[in-house]
Amino acid sequence: MKKVLILSFFAALLIGCTQTGKTNYALLSGKITEPNSEKLNILNDSGKVQREIAVNEDGTFSDTIFNVDGYYTLSDGKESTTLYLKNGYNLTMILDTKEFDETLVYAGEGAEANNYLAQKFLANEKVTGNFQELYGLDEEQFIEKISSFYADLEGKLQKLPKSFAEGEKKNLQYGKANMLANYERSHGYAVKDNTFKVSADFPDPYENIPLNDEEEYKKNKNYRSLIQNVFFAKMSKQVQESKNKISFVKSISDGLNEMPIGNIREGIAKEISYLLSSGDADNEALYKSIMESTSDEEFKEKVTSRMGKLRVLVKGADSPVFVNYENYDGGTTSLTDLRGKFVYIDVWATWCGPCRAEIPPFKELVNKYKGKNITFVSISIDAESDKETWRKMVKEEEIDWIQLFGEADWNSSFAKDYAVNSIPRFIFIDPEGKIVESDAPRPSQTEEIEKLFSESGVK
């Protein structure tokens, strides 16, 4: 019965929608069961919203998207999927948000390519979903597994439109190269052997892939990801070979300066701007390198604004404050309420995997310093719609230090004043409300955090 309803729905949508001749738009319509929001966003390759589509009360939607050619992201605010759109497409889709990826089905002009992408995502999730299982494999098993995976995906391209298939073959090549390149470090982590090195027979991840294609970098985000990984790996290797005499930030800055001006250098400059952090001695050099690498004035203004904030987040300066944040235990809490003791603050969110990974060592840290002159606080920057998820996680994880819910998620005044652009972020403040460390060690960095506490006078 379900299949009949689905086919009937698609048939109703397709009546009278045949396109003839050349057009400069694509049609997108469909139905979402239990939609997460009242709108859908179509984001372009740069992550900017190209089209906002209203979702009706019954979950149906329909709109025209002009001048499309390639890959886009469809997002409902909580979930997202990759779309392939071309002018002239008349694409319909249905899905149930309870099983977003598993129920996603397309019909109409453009359906073949998009159904392939939906199935590709599920297949990729199945292969890469368990990090330990995948990267715990020995070399031979790992190579066999991912080679079989990518060969199977490439085989399915034979029946798809030529223009789409040719681009997808490149994406598969870049994806496989990234996985091969990550194997050495990831396998060492999985088997707890930081001395692990791949054998001399291990495939060259970048064989037959040019690493300086400016045009490909501009138009293909998978190639961008590949080149950025190559750059970061090269810089990390330089730091290791220097035996940490060169900082990672300094190595990034120098590496950027050595690159020719172009799409790749500008793209990497934008990607690494998050490395600007308060208290880093190499901040100014990195800032200069970034500014010289791009002609994007809007981006330069943002970086300059961030740098301005970082310059005042120095040790001994008055800390930015939060006021009347909702407390999990009831009422509200402000930073000034905590004066008289050191305050160690964790900025996090329930959806952040690295944040959740810090919960066990955070518990150990809190227990070790119980009764000392220090207060521990976690501030969630989850969206308002995820407040119940936050409450549920705090209860299930039995987190017993101060838990606060910030206002306006990423746009909360405290997060913005501390120039928070990635989480988890830890901040350490003295009993007078002065900054000790605006980017403090994590609880899992046991030696560093204990040294900081000891030298600061926590007792």
Secondary structure of residue 300 in the 3-state scheme: helix
Of 413, 435, 402, 401, which Cα lies nearest the Cα of 322?
413
Residue spans per domain, the chain: 2-109, 325-456
Q: How many CB atoms lie within 10 A of CB 353?
A: 6
pLDDT in tens, 34-85: 998 899 999 998 888 999 999 999 999 999 999 999 999 999 888 999 999 9
Q: What is the mean pLDDT of residues 362-387?
A: 96
Pair 50, 65: CB distance under 8 Å: yes
Pair 90, 14: CB distance under 8 Å: yes
- N residues, the chain: 459
Q: What is the mean pLDDT of residues 435-439?
A: 94
Tokens of 82: 């990759």
- What is the fold, at CATH topology level, of the domain defined by 325-456? Glutaredoxin (3.40.30)
Residues near 100 by Cβ (< 8 Å), separated by ≥ 6? 79, 81
18-22, 235-239, 259-263: least confidently modelled range: 18-22
Exposure of 429 by Cβ count < 10 A (0-12 exposed, 13-18 middle, 19+ buried)? buried
Say yes or no to pLDDT of 18 above 50: no
Say yes or no to pLDDT of 1 above 70: no
Q: What is the mean pLDDT of residues 161-168?
A: 94
Domain 2-109 in this protein, CATH class? mainly beta
pTM over 0.85: no
